[in-house]
Structure 1
Amino acid sequence: MSLNGVSLNGLRAFEAAARHLNLSRAAEELCVTQAAVSHQVKALEAQLGRPLFRRHARGLLLTDEGEALAPVVAQAFERMGAALVALREGGPAEVLTVGVVGTFALGFLLERLADFRAGHPRIELRVQTHNNKVDLAAEGLDLAIRFGDGAWRSVEAEPLLAAPLAPLCDPAMAARLAVPEDLARVPLLRSYRAGDWPAWLALAGAPRVVARGPMFDASTLMVQAALRGEGVALAPPCMFTRELRAGRLVQPFAQTLDAGSYWLTRQLSREPTMAMRAFADWLRAECGAMAID
């Protein structure tokens, strides 16, 4: 079957390959051989007269033409899938794929998902976690929640929740900390945001303290290490209220650092769907309620 002379099988192979940037994983998803996927993609490129991928030793990269085509094809197949589900089940349905930075997923979203599902039973929510480095188009995401200043290229960013950073540690570690200068005697657990500890220490009046300790690519892992007595993490207390209320985590100093907020983002080129608007409205209300509390 074709659409304007373009093979639908080729478009499906391209969509999977563009999402995974790997022919083997695309072939596994489509239950065909890698050679079949490669053949279909090459045939599609021939039909279009444009290269869609650049191939190199570590995998695939999308060309400018591939970058432009990938989200359009992904959305088209997603809508067709939703329409088929609706025909089978007798009502409208829509898949919504949301990328969420891990700290927000565990500290905020997870405990509220049941409420969203109850209010929106015809939206199939798919959650993918990331470490704040995310490409909505390449990863096939409708929306992404990330931490920072909101200045990301080619996306619309809506502020959700302020999340100032503060030192967090287990009670035994906290007992060793009377003033910020005492942090020089304990491991300071670090994230990929290298400037956070120096900025907090300067605000707290301890600029001579040097952050030394293990580095983590995810704040959730960093705080788990703090819970196990491995050191002091610099993280948003609002995402670890359960642990703080239970006394498993302690915030030894009141000083906080405004290093960013949580934002809801989408591609500027992407028109919001019903499901995207419903999720954004629900999330906005939930974050507003938390800020009031």
Structure 2
Amino acid sequence: MDRPDIPLNALRTFEVAMRQGSFTKAAIELRVTQAAVSHQIARLEDVLGTTLFQRTSQGLVATDEGRMLFPVLEYGFDAIARVLDRLDGRRDVEVLKIGVNTTFAVGWLMPRLEGFRASHPEVDVRISTNNNRVEILREGLDMAIRFGTGGWTGHEAIGLFDAPLSPLCSPELAAGLRDPGDLGQLTLLRSYRSAEWPGWFAVAGAPCPPALGPVFDSSIALAEMAAAGTGAALLPVRMFERHISERRLVQPFGFTVSAGRYYLAWPSDRPVTPAMASFSQWLSAHAGEVEADRESIEDRPDHLT
């Protein structure tokens, strides 16, 4: 028996619900009621003869069938939109949505992004910043720049460069530091990664004092607190070269500890578009220049007290 025609509106509703991770948010985007979204999803499941979502106490959870269908639909709807734009007489521009770790965006990407835009006017880059917690599919992104160790399940990832951590503080506080153990006199500002300070003190060969300072989920916030003289923050030095050159922050000791790398990641089952390929090649080339420059900021005497 032939399968009934699959309603396009139901497919579109599923794509939005999957991307938003919520029937309520999907209803807002589509400007319909939540009941209408539920009806379209139920209709699609009935036609396909399979379940696309599991409703749990934690919210919507896509089934294997739902996860298989979503990237195909998302790519298809994006392709349709691009063709319609061309038929409508608009410039042939491909939108590229990228989630970026805020520290990387402010400290490295944004000063260089104009170079990409100048060389690739056919790509409309849209940046969404985050504190390294990102769900590419759910947030409707194409790619994401993340910090960590790589190996994210279901994703391809290209390593960009390391970002070693070292204590940074205000010049006034740095003036009173003679050896790593002196940092115990200061408030040690912390990220949510609790092993970072003990790891740095181990490299520096000094006992780690109790880290009792406030915990932040943003390196940008840590840097601002450190620059204000609140304490010392363990930060990726490469991302704060401007703060150091302006003497808002000082790196009192040359010891560094590695906590991971920056990566460009995207879902494994997503077709790579021309815009994604262009951005990946551009970013990899510039990241390679960083890796080739072994005279990193933490090794420059003029940046130390």
Task: Give the equivalent residue in structure 1 for 2:174.
Answer: 174
Q: How is 1:66-85 mapped onto 2 (pairs within 5 angstroms)?
A: 66-85=66-85
SS at match of 1:89: coil
Asked whether the 8 Å contact 1:145–1:263 carries over to 2, the reply is yes
Q: Which letter does structure 2 place at the counterpart of 1:245?
A: S
For 1:110 and 1:100, the matched residues in 2 are separated by 10
TM-superposed deviation, 1:199: 0.5
Unmatched tracts of structure 1, length 5 or more: none
TM-score by length of 2: 0.89
Asked whether the 8 Å contact 2:4–2:47 carries over to 1, the reply is no
Q: Which letter does structure 2 place at the counterpart of 1:195?
A: A
Task: Give the equivalent residue in structure 1 for 2:215.
Answer: 215
Unmatched tracts of structure 2, length 5 or more: 294-305
Q: How is 1:187-266 mapped onto 2 (pairs within 5 angstroms)?
A: 187-266=187-266
Asked whether the 8 Å contact 1:67–1:137 carries over to 2, the reply is no
Give the count of matched residue pairs: 291
Task: Give the equivalent residue in structure 1 for 2:40.
Answer: 40
Task: Give the equivalent residue in structure 1 for 2:121.
Answer: 121
TM-superposed deviation, 1:286: 2.1
For 2:208 and 2:143, the matched residues in 1 are separated by 41
TM-superposed deviation, 1:87: 2.2
Asked whether the 8 Å contact 2:188–2:212 carries over to 1, the reply is yes
For 2:208 and 2:145, the matched residues in 1 are separated by 35
TM-superposed deviation, 1:59: 2.9
Q: How is 1:56-135 mapped onto 2 (pairs within 5 angstroms)?
A: 56-89=56-89, 91-135=91-135
TM-superposed deviation, 1:131: 2.2
Of the structure 1 ranges 8-17 and 80-89, higher mean CA displacement relative to structure 2 is found in 80-89
Q: How is 1:131-170 mapped onto 2 (pairs within 5 angstroms)?
A: 131-170=131-170
- Identity across the alignment (%): 48
TM-superposed deviation, 1:214: 0.9
Q: Cα deviations across residues 162-215 of structure 1 (Å, max 9, x unaligned)?
A: 211111112222223221112222111111222111100111112342222111
For 1:142 and 1:249, the matched residues in 2 are separated by 35
Q: Which letter does structure 2 place at the counterpart of 1:145?
A: I
Of the structure 1 ranges 42-51 and 86-95, higher mean CA displacement relative to structure 2 is found in 86-95
For 2:55 and 2:225, the matched residues in 1 are separated by 39
Q: Cα deviations across residues 116-144 of structure 1 (Å, max 9, x unaligned)?
A: 22221121212122222333333332221
Q: Which letter does structure 1 place at the counterpart of 2:134?
A: V
TM-superposed deviation, 1:291: 4.0
SS at match of 1:6: coil
Asked whether the 8 Å contact 1:71–1:140 carries over to 2, the reply is no
For 2:167 and 2:198, the matched residues in 1 are separated by 12
Asked whether the 8 Å contact 1:146–1:264 carries over to 2, the reply is yes
| Match status 1:15 vs 2:15 | yes
SS at match of 2:126: strand
Asked whether the 8 Å contact 1:70–1:138 carries over to 2, the reply is no
Q: Which letter does structure 1 place at the counterpart of 2:117?
A: R
Asked whether the 8 Å contact 1:216–1:222 carries over to 2, the reply is yes
For 1:8 and 1:86, the matched residues in 2 are separated by 21
Task: Give the equivalent residue in structure 1 for 2:24.
Answer: 24
For 1:267 and 1:56, the matched residues in 2 are separated by 24
Asked whether the 8 Å contact 2:99–2:144 carries over to 1, the reply is yes
Task: Give the equivalent residue in structure 2 for 1:278.
Answer: 278
Q: Which letter does structure 1 place at the counterpart of 2:279?
A: F
TM-superposed deviation, 1:58: 4.7
